[in-house]
Amino acid sequence: MELVTIKDKNYSNKKVFVRVDFNVPLGDNNEILDDTRITAALETIRYLLSQNATLVLASHLGKPKGKRNPKLSLKPVAERLAELLGKPVKFAPDCIGDGAKKVVDGAGKGEVVLLENLRFYPGEEENDPQFAKALGSLAECYVNDAFGTSHREHASIVGITEFLPDKAAGFLIEKETNALSRLIENPEKPFLLILGGAKVTDKIAMLRNLLDKVDTIITGGVMAYTFIRANNWETGDSKVEVEAIPMAKEIYKQIRKLHLEFHTPLDHMIINMNMENPQPVYTERGTVPLGWKGVDIGPQALDEYRDCISRARTIFWNGPMGIYEVEAYARGTIEIAKAVAASKAFSVVGGGDIVAAVKRAGVADKISHVCTGGGASLEFLEGKGLPGINILQKK
């Protein structure tokens, strides 16, 4: 995939609209809990500032559903960005209209403006042409560096380019697409797919698209229990995505036809659902008895999965191995993270849970690429293309 990038352009003294993804988690007092998405955009921002451009940054935050919500204001983000850049960031109290225009017009060369939350207007998610035109009127050219939102056909992602045809991808989007493309285009073998977590149906299309490229698949969490149930084995009270069982059975048929190595856990950590304060124990085999719930993979499964990881030369991981957010049930996910980090494979991890897990394990810097957008990375790997990326490709 060849994209028009900011390295192909000259932004000297220009006013540039930059779509970033500053959709960061906020605490009860509107404090930023994790600034990863802000730091991910710094390379693009600094590059454009080095050309003396005036930057108009725009992002969404949370789900305000088209209405102004002070708890979802981007003002704390502007303050954090100023700290990271070591220079002032002007905050516009709106993203369109006189409020935004006044702040943008008052910004000089080499200065940064952050607009208020785009999703305070329904026109953003509706890709409304008038809203897109209003955004486009604030600048001369457009840069998209919001990979995590590029699978959405929104006004600031797609519609705005009708009014700012001078468009390019930022460094983050370039890195994301390059890393994910390596998984699709001649990945080094053996290629290992690690699938866990819930939302099984969301991952089926991606799994189908990668079946003829991968060599080994290992599973955990709801993903594993759904495939176990598809084999008519007992899962007890473990969470299963029932509507995905027929799809799992179809995928089993394809796996057998392609002679792929496919693993569900050899054993599980389980808890008794009838006890008030259940203590976890391990099963002796890969099924879960009635009245019990699987919460993590067991030690036998972990050993088998470590072996698969050690043999791999390409790895994509999406979804935890169990209820990792509970400390007592996190071992499987954390140990898998450490094994992936220690491997010699080109490794890509995607999805908020896994990004959090590799950080918690202290190995994020040892993963080849950490995706900033879980949903966007899954859709990219489905092979259907993302609206926000497609419009940035070279003709």
> Do 221 and 322 contact (CB within 8 A), yes or no?
yes
Helix or strand (DSSP H, E) at 183: helix 171-184
Q: In what order do the strands lie in the sheet with 369-370?
A: 261-263, 216-219, 191-195, 314-318, 346-350, 369-370
Q: Name the catalytic one among 14, 80, 199, 293.
A: 199
Neighbours of 322 (CB within 10 A): 26
> Do 100 and 115 contact (CB within 8 A), yes or no?
yes
Q: How far apart are CA 57 and CA 337, in angstroms?
A: 34
Q: Cα dihedral sign for 115, 119, 125, 129?
A: negative
DSSP state of 290: T
- Kindly tell me the burial class for residue 1, based on how many C-beta atoms sit within 10 Å of its own C-beta (0-12, 13-18, 19 or more): middle
Using DSSP's 3-state secondary structure scheme, residue 101 falls into helix
Q: How far apart are CA 165 and CA 386, in angstroms?
A: 18
Q: Name the catalytic one among 14, 19, 37, 119.
A: 37
Neighbours of 70 (CB within 10 A): 8
* Residue 37 annotated among the catalytic residues of the structure: yes
* Residue 199 annotated among the catalytic residues of the structure: yes
Q: How far apart are CA 105 and CA 139, in angstroms?
A: 10
Q: Which two tokens stand for residue 146?
A: 């919001």
Cβ partners under 8 Å of residue 82, min gap 6: 88, 89
Q: What are the angstrom distances between the C-alpha of 310 and each of 259, 306, 369?
A: 20, 6, 18
Using DSSP's 3-state secondary structure scheme, residue 346 falls into strand
Neighbours of 93 (CB within 10 A): 13
Q: Name the catalytic one among 62, 99, 110, 352.
A: 352
Q: Which residues are catalytic?
A: 37, 199, 352, 375
